[in-house]
Amino acid sequence: MTLSNWLRFSKDVEYDLLVPPFGADYYSMTPKQAKENFEWFISKIPERVEYLRNRISKDLKISVEELDFSPESLKIVWKWFLKTARVEKTPKEQVAEMEKQWGHLGEHWIQREQLTVATQFIVRDIGMYLGEVFIRNYPRIITWGYFVKPKSNVNAKKPLLYGFFDKSRNPPFSIPFDPILSIEQQAQKIISMSGKDIDLLDLCIGLKKYIME
């Protein structure tokens, strides 16, 4: 490990990291790897959400029972996240690459700050928790799943939540939901210091209209 990386990790959040077997490059996964990765992901949900619940309970000094997978519990989860998450300066070599590729489109394309490594792992665990909120509140309606084709689709090979539909179509059109990406998008607000405790609950409420009950 280089000195710069050691300094980065020494300042990061202390958090139990669970590394996926094939990394996060879904595009490069073979169909077999995608299947194995999905099965691994599903198998880890119980232990990861319990770890998250116990960690939040300890840090906020509240009963773990308050994290009951209700939509309202998302306010507690996000309150903890906003206090716990950390941001770091994007490594110079990554900034240089972004400037080379996207600089001509404007400064807003250059991400000079980013979520720390541990924070990104927390994002995945919260994505699992959000998935469980939907599955437990809408049993037999919302389920985990994945697809491999078309490979060009940005959601291909990722663990997704199924059961959401564009009801303006006839018949309604299925729109699988990526909870981890959505959590990451919400998490980016900490960089601009615009995050609010209700952001995650608002996301959940907004998604309800796409559920076929």
pLDDT computed for residue 1 by the predictor = 47
Q: Round to whole Å and give the CA distance between 211 and 139.
A: 12
> Does residue 5 form part of some domain?
no
Q: Is residue 6 part of a domain?
A: no
120-132 average pLDDT score: 97
Q: Does residue 88 belong to any structural domain of this protein?
A: yes
Classify 173 as helix, strand or coil.
strand
The mean predicted confidence, pLDDT, of the chain is: 91
Assess if residue 144 is contained within a domain. yes
Hey, which bits of 46-155 come out as E strands? 87-89, 113-115, 143-145
Residue 86 located in a structural domain: yes
- Span 133-145, mean pLDDT? 96
Domain count, the chain: 1
The answer, yes or no, to whether residue 150 has pLDDT greater than 50, is yes
d(CA 84, CA 12): 10
- Residue-level pLDDT at 5: 58
Q: Give the pLDDT of residue 164.
A: 97
Asked whether residue 16 is assigned to any structural domain, the reply reads no
Position 89 in a domain: yes
pLDDT recorded at residue 107: 67
117-137 vs 199-208: helix axis angle to the nearest 10? 40
pLDDT band at 74 (very low <50, low <70, confident <90, very high): very high
Q: What SS3 state is found at 8?
A: helix
So what's the pLDDT on residue 97?
78
Evaluate whether residue 10 is within a structural domain: no
Locus of tokens 């990104």: 120
Is a pLDDT exceeding 50 seen at residue 202?
yes
Contact 189, 132 (CB under 8 A): no
Its domain, for residue 180, covers 26-208
Mean pLDDT of the 173-184 span: 96
CA torsion through residues 4, 10, 14, 15, sign: positive
Q: How confident is the model at residue 96 (pLDDT cuts 50, 70, 90)?
A: confident
